[in-house]
Amino acid sequence: MVSVIVAVAENGVIGDKNTLLWHISEDLRNFKRVTSGHPVIMGRKTFDSLGRPLPNRTNVVITRQNLEIEGCKVVHSLEEALSLFSPEEEVFVIGGAQIYAEALPLADRFYLTRVHHAYEGDTSFPKWNESEWSLMESERFERGEKYEYPFTIEIYERI
Ligand SMILES: NC(=O)c1ccc[n+]([C@@H]2O[C@H](COP(=O)([O-])OP(=O)(O)OC[C@H]3O[C@@H](n4cnc5c(N)ncnc54)[C@H](OP(=O)(O)O)[C@@H]3O)[C@@H](O)[C@H]2O)c1
């Protein structure tokens, strides 16, 4: 099963200059809880921005280059990444924009954190069709422990 997980600003922005634009502890904890124990698939730029493999998860990095990355499996397409795992296993596509654009049409489940604030950034989440998705869970926070704007953590399943 393919899942996409992302945090998106209200204007669609997800990052700038290969980094995240916000730090929301509740969202990071949710990301860790949801993805731990499962494979995570990411584009090479997202791996660079993380700087290290995520612990307790099989990390798969997609690149067109011939790279070896310690602690990661390196592949050359999303298809190759998905072929490493059985269809029953929940596999998480964790970004960035290029890989989300390829993965969203294949995804069964969509973990979306809506950040209710606009940010300026150079990277945006691709357009997606809400009518193809059914909202299963939604939790709104008026602010975070250390984050000043509201956000909502949602889970969708493909209809
Ligand atoms: N808000 C969030 O939840 C979230 C999550 C993740 C990332 N982000 C942000 O998103 C930004 C990075 O996203 P991005 O779109 O620039 O980069 P990306 O999707 O992480 O990585 C792009 C790279 O993936 C490889 N790639 C892409 N398509 C490929 C294909 N079809 N076949 C083989 N390799 C392929 C290429 O690597 P090579 O150049 O090595 O060939 C390409 O340069 C950062 O700002 C990051 O902080 C935000």
Q: Taking the domains of the chain in order of start, what are their residue ranges?
A: 12-158
Q: What is the mean pLDDT of the chain?
A: 98
Structure confidence by residue, pLDDT tens digits, 20-55? 999 999 999 999 999 999 999 999 999 999 999 999
What 136-144 contacts at long range (C-beta under 8 Å, 24+ apart), as own/partner pairs, is 141/26, 144/24, 144/25, 144/26, 144/27
Which amino acids bring their CB within 6 angstroms of ligand 1?
6-7, 14-16, 18-20, 42-46, 49, 62-65, 76-77, 94-99, 123
| CATH node for 12-158 | 3.40.430.10
For residue 70, what pLDDT band results from cuts at 50, 70 and 90? very high
Q: Which residue's CA lies nearest to atom 44 of ligand 1?
A: 18
Torsion of CA 44, 94, 114, 26, to 10 degrees: -110
For residue 64, what pLDDT band results from cuts at 50, 70 and 90? very high
Mean pLDDT of 92-106: 98
